[in-house]
Structure 1
């Protein structure tokens, strides 16, 4: 099964790579915590991050587990540490950022479909999560909780120099080549410079001096990134991702493009199922290779069958003429979201 993290032995230490959305592919933090806990006490850890964020609940659990680790933890932000990923970074003893990397903090968000009580419960949960995040950011940066809370509410992006100046990182290193398939358009304040780097992708030629690192999803799937002790950055021993361009007529399809398309489809299916409150249906849709339109139709039908109507008043015997079918409401929601 695909995963968003990888933990590997590295000489006398270990390397932990989070190079995707935290909690993606239906893989929670449970396995991550088990693998991290299996490391011998005192093991030095290099934690490499290139992630747009993900599950805030998983991030809090991962942050706390890293803080409990007995050995030294050095965090390397290999491109982007946004949202939940930036909170995980705060658990490191030292945070190292290339000059062109970015770190972002914002308020946690969630989706829920249900009663007013369900909404209030979600709001309370988000407030508690934010309290934990504020404490972690404040402890690392030395800023007051009130200052951190305001920065989070504004969705604040820091380039590497700003992050060091504000106390959210400790050390700058040479720029890296950012290569990631993250959709940063979902963030309202994403810096134009970051958008240009992500869209441009990596340079076509390799660095002869080994001062740059590749930040690709493939690292989380088993490729290795080594540390260059002379330049204090990772050497580019992972393969350069091929250009995302259509193959010429008659040429075989690009495996990387096929993989990226499959991952994008899987994420869309999982997101739709979560929005509909039916996450357990995602596995069946993916196994049957169902298209997104069919997924929407099936989710609408399932919701309509479970709860056939919403009435503006308390239910009375018989069907109200003012009732609105759940199918219509969910269809409108999916149309707006998708």
Structure 2
């Protein structure tokens, strides 16, 4: 069987580069192509799991986008992070680390936020595995999505030119008995303290400046995010 030849492009990251415009083709395998009646549409996972990336038609046949990205050690988060999304991402991180513990992993983000606990679970896994995990923002990295972006490997945290980054203090909805509300408020305060100190470590900024920036919603351009220390560079196309 002749292996289909299809060119799919990806961004190739390099350390110590603040503006980067080199494109390289993704590696494809014949197993990425198959006969499926669900091409051109998202495959809805069962039992509420995050949707699988759609298959698309190519000259070589239907192409499984999820397999192509995974084979090239790319994980895509394009929705709010909840426990199911965290489960999928952590599983992918651990699997890729097991396959090759010396090869870098890229996490592409277009993420408006999500559960603080779920985001911290993903960050803990990124820090725990041996491969370096770079992050790239497409579109938006807001709220806890910005925490994931900034939590990537130093020197491998990037954003596209038109991306937007938004940081703020963690949100919490309290309700119930007075004692329950008191405990929830205490947990929210501790969570904010934890997140603020993580931003201090990620950016090199003082705790006072981080708290000033996160007191309310703070929207940043990529240049502002780079100046603050949330990212290391801006990715640009050659066009």
The interval holding the TM-score normalised by the smaller chain is 0.5 to 0.7
Aligned partner of 1:37 in structure 2 is 94
Q: Map 1:39-188; keep pairs closer than 5 Å.
A: 39=96, 40=98, 41-93=101-153, 94-174=156-236
Verify the 8 A CA contact 1:20 1:51 in the aligned structure 2: yes
Q: Which of these residues, 75, 89, 93, is aligned with residue 16 of structure 1?
A: 75
Q: Distance in 2 between matches of 1:3 and 1:42?
A: 28
Q: Map 1:170-319; keep pairs closer than 5 Å.
A: 170-174=232-236, 211=237, 231=238
Structure having greater relative contact order (Cα 8 Å, sep ≥ 6): 2
Compare CA radii of gyration and give the structure with the larger one.
1
Over residues 207-233 of structure 1, what are the superposed CA-to-partner deviations in whole Å (9 max), with x where a residue is unaligned? xxxx4xxxxxxxxxxxxxxxxxxx5x9
Q: Distance in 1 between matches of 2:52 and 2:210?
A: 28
Tell me the secondary structure at the aligned position of residue 109 of structure 2. strand
Tell me the secondary structure at the aligned position of residue 73 of structure 2. strand
Verify the 8 A CA contact 1:60 1:132 in the aligned structure 2: no
- TM-score by length of structure 1 reads 0.48
Q: Report the Cα offset of residue 122 of structure 1.
A: 1.1
Verify the 8 A CA contact 1:106 1:152 in the aligned structure 2: yes
Q: Distance in 2 between matches of 1:8 and 1:95?
A: 24
- TM-score by length of structure 2 reads 0.66
* Runs of at least 4 residues off by over 6 Å: 4-7
Between Structure 1 and Structure 2, the one with more helix by share is 1
